[in-house]
A and B are shown apart, each in its own frame.
Chain A
């Protein structure tokens, strides 16, 4: 493992009337060389604190951080050989683009020709050739973002840290930069840790995603694993959308599982995890797994809301007293079921995942 966090806990001491806060609790994480790992979660989940501990801006209360075989817990940021792209870009306003990017190289007292060469190379990498002499105030938001990225990349760091770097850009630009960051990261094979609260960003960028909530890690996995096999209600709800159907396990066999939900029996395949017969569970049903037809499906339902969104039609349909959200994804369909219409509802049973039932989150 290249970068390892071992049982990291961060407790902020009480200060100024604010009581003690456990920002990060017992977090362990292994990151391989060249991998891009995203820390994803709602605000206050501890993702930024975790990143700042990796950077060295905060020191863990307990636990270990190991980089490339070296224990770096107590190393100050400037000795860690990492670089970081900040949410606010943190461009030095009194320096030109060139001086900004060359800053870290100047600290290392590299010879002038090498600095010029490396800055030029990284400027072309981020498509900012010829912008070196500009003042940061003369740049657009997207260009400032590129400067911030170039300033981090030029250091050829062991680890590249990014703290919500795209959150200040507009939607179009964000999409473009997302692809750009991924391209450069792969091209240079830089080990990266990326913090975001935007699940689409996490899905498009990451080799692996770490979902955090309330200071703990909920789940770690590839984008596919996170979406298809969420291990908690929180993850299922945070990455994509999900309906949770209450169900009871009838029996689980080697390759399938029989459950009963809202009075009907379902036969699920590809279920991860072991459940005993009679256990109360939640079925994770994503909107696109819901089939809403005039007839021929398992459940009887009533349309409560119908919205045409262009790429899909979205319905809230009531079955067995529960409102579930479903989508019609067939582009040929342009007539909506009216509200109050009785319909037939079925699920793509091969995709449904099962979780231990949670009392509050049905």
Chain B
């Protein structure tokens, strides 16, 4: 029984490794939950991240006539457009560098004050440092202008400065960098705070016991250990600064940067090719830094990310340094508070710059005319939030726990949607889903149908019958016009329900199928319910309630009328879950064909994936933007859970689904809550990604702030900003409260993962 020398063999390497990968995939196939999670995240990312980004980038090379064209790249080198374009590019880079440097510096000062200087009111300082992350992207620019602008409270009113054209005012690169610094330094603060806390004091103690003086120690030990954090923060802020659209639009003055150029190309010129070309210019530095960050900086980290904060912190002993840092921190905090107070005050002042007396008229406007945007934004944000958080957890689970080919790609692309500038994503969404190619629907459907057939059918012959039968029936049904089609499709599910009830004796299955049937049919009834509501709202006196009711009738329609292609995806998965374990062959074929017919019909009716102008495209953009934050928070939580815990459940007889429900989910619930908070905040405050997606029917507050601002409605813009800040804070408060109730303090949200 004795074996010897494993090295003596040279197996047929390359071919066997391919076979092994195929085997690996067939093993994944044996675990439907894993496969389903993989497909779900894969399809979402392929359709809503990769496809739009591809469209956005490729669009720069394709002229209106559809031929290959480099006009907008060539312009960088000609004499007419060249200088202006090149200046915008260098200004953009300069802005990025300055913001990154000053934001990191401010972040470091805050982190040092909180961790090492024992700053009085530490908790409050910490939370105030995070406030900029929950405010809409240009709130601070607005406040800066209200204070220091040409009619600014401080510049004009208090100091009596009146600007002549061309004078050095707040508008321009300087103002922009100040505003961006305040807007983005929180990220840097959180990163460096975590690093400082995890710095092992023994290292500094060792150095000082070896005779290193204070500055020598800081220079040779503390700083080098923090370098990865500082570099990481610098790169992140650089990217954030480049991607920022709101602040440049408000305060850049006559300077143009790439993000605002892109915005103007779309909004001002409807020139998507130009916008795409500019996007490519913007995305290159962003992507390079994203990659450097991921694959270089993160690997050079000396301090383990999972490490607990080291027990005893070294405190800054020198009172001069300590108080210098603390006072700078307090001053910045005071400045931040002043900015936010200005926003609130601005929303109540009669006519900023001329008449500062308080009035409620802007608020009346905001809650009557503006209620539409506020309700739309909140509704879509809320609806998208659980989807983003749950999808984030699923991806995190796959990335941390599962081994499969393409795992790195999933990890990378799930982060991509949040990492690229939002404007680029927005353009991509418009280009991708305005007239989406049929091939997109075909590919998505094919993948889903193959998976469906694989799981539902048990033998090759069954699978072929299910695939061919279901697809043919579906395509046939898709030619029937909408109202009738939905009745047929809903009817199919009702038939499934009845069949299951009598042949399979599975009540829960039958009930679910019946509910799906009714839901599909209700697509037709939504209008019938919504119209009387809308009519009733019109009969009311114009005001808050009539507008709110009218919006509510629209929101009802969103719930009952999902985009066909999306409903198809959901129903394909529902079919797999319901029909994965049918015992008789007849049932498998019969129910299998029926179950596939519905998604097939939905995939091919009308123009699948035509989403522009609707609510779902905005929600998809929200989710793509907030996904990285919830993935990160899930990854952080899962990495702290011993993988054997899931294996223990598995070997005790629980399958992946049971394990996830009973073990993994309860353990990552705090992270899920964190994901909910991050997602909702991101949704409510996002501007760049959705600015091109808003429509007359679906208004978003951030976009309304911009248009109010452009029309001179400064106070209404301020009121809108206040509303967003308040809503986000309420949401955070409520979710925190719920979590404390649920876990009685057992779990805590690690906010640092969210940014």
Which positions in A face B, CB cutoff 8 Å? Answer: 11, 13-16, 20, 22, 25-29, 55-57, 59, 61, 74, 76-80, 82-84, 86-88, 90-94, 103-104, 107-108, 151, 155, 161, 214-220, 231-232
Chain A residues with CB under 8 Å of B650's CB are 57, 76-78
Whether B2 lies near A218 (C-beta < 8 A) is: yes
- A83 CA to B5 CA, complexed, in Å: 33
Whether A92 lies near B27 (C-beta < 8 A) is: no
Measured CB to CB, the closest approach of chain B to A107, in angstroms, equals 4
Main secondary structure of the interface of B (DSSP, over half): helix
Which positions in B face A, CB cutoff 8 Å? Answer: 1-6, 13, 17, 20-21, 24, 27, 30-31, 403, 408, 642, 644-645, 647-655, 658, 662-663, 666-667
Given contacts A20-B13, A86-B647, A92-B649, 8 further A-B pairs with CB under 8 A are: A57-B647, A78-B655, A90-B644, A103-B662, A155-B652, A215-B6, A216-B4, A218-B2
Q: Which 9 A-B pairs have the closest CB atoms?
A: A104-B652, A90-B644, A90-B648, A25-B6, A86-B644, A107-B653, A77-B650, A77-B651, A90-B645
Given A86-B644, A94-B666, A13-B20 contact (CB < 8 Å): yes
Whether B651 lies near A217 (C-beta < 8 A) is: no
- A117 CA to B667 CA, complexed, in Å: 28
- A199 CA to B255 CA, complexed, in Å: 74
Measured CB to CB, the closest approach of chain B to A244, in angstroms, equals 19
Residue of A nearest to B665 (CB): A94
Given A26-B3, A28-B1, A78-B654, A61-B20 contact (CB < 8 Å): yes
Name 5 A/B residue pairs within 8 A (Cβ), A-sorted: A26-B3, A56-B651, A57-B650, A92-B663, A218-B2
Whether B667 lies near A93 (C-beta < 8 A) is: yes
- A104 CA to B2 CA, complexed, in Å: 38
Chain A residues with CB under 8 Å of B31's CB are 76
Chain A residues with CB under 8 Å of B663's CB are 92, 94
Residue of A nearest to B655 (CB): A78
Contact for B1 among A82, A104, A220, CB less than 8 A:
A220
Chain B residues with CB under 8 Å of A79's CB are 653
Measured CB to CB, the closest approach of chain A to B20, in angstroms, equals 6
Contact for A84 among B3, B27, B647, CB less than 8 A:
B647
Chain B residues with CB under 8 Å of A16's CB are 408
Measured CB to CB, the closest approach of chain A to B24, in angstroms, equals 8
Measured CB to CB, the closest approach of chain B to A48, in angstroms, equals 11
- A203 CA to B657 CA, complexed, in Å: 40
Residue of B nearest to A16 (CB): B408
Given A86-B648, A219-B2, A108-B653 contact (CB < 8 Å): yes
Whether A13 lies near B1 (C-beta < 8 A) is: no
Whether B2 lies near A103 (C-beta < 8 A) is: no
- A218 CA to B2 CA, complexed, in Å: 6
Whether B644 lies near A87 (C-beta < 8 A) is: yes
Q: Most chain-B CB neighbours within 10 Å: which of A88, A91, A93, A94?
A: A94
Q: Most chain-A CB neighbours within 10 Å: which of B3, B24, B658?
A: B3
Q: Most chain-A CB neighbours within 10 Å: which of B21, B27, B649, B652?
A: B652
- A14 CA to B1 CA, complexed, in Å: 29
- A28 CA to B1 CA, complexed, in Å: 7
Measured CB to CB, the closest approach of chain A to B185, in angstroms, equals 34
Residue of A nearest to B653 (CB): A107
Whether A77 lies near B647 (C-beta < 8 A) is: yes
Q: Most chain-B CB neighbours within 10 Å: which of A11, A91, A92, A220?
A: A92
Chain A residues with CB under 8 Å of B5's CB are 216
Whether B3 lies near A25 (C-beta < 8 A) is: yes
Measured CB to CB, the closest approach of chain B to A87, in angstroms, equals 7
- A28 CA to B3 CA, complexed, in Å: 9
Whether A216 lies near B3 (C-beta < 8 A) is: yes
Whether A103 lies near B651 (C-beta < 8 A) is: no
Residue of B nearest to A59 (CB): B27
Measured CB to CB, the closest approach of chain A to B23, in angstroms, equals 8
Q: Most chain-A CB neighbours within 10 Å: which of B1, B24, B408, B663?
A: B1
Residue of A nearest to B13 (CB): A20
Given A28-B1, A90-B644, A103-B649 contact (CB < 8 Å): yes
Measured CB to CB, the closest approach of chain A to B4, in angstroms, equals 7
Measured CB to CB, the closest approach of chain B to A106, in angstroms, equals 8
- A215 CA to B1 CA, complexed, in Å: 14
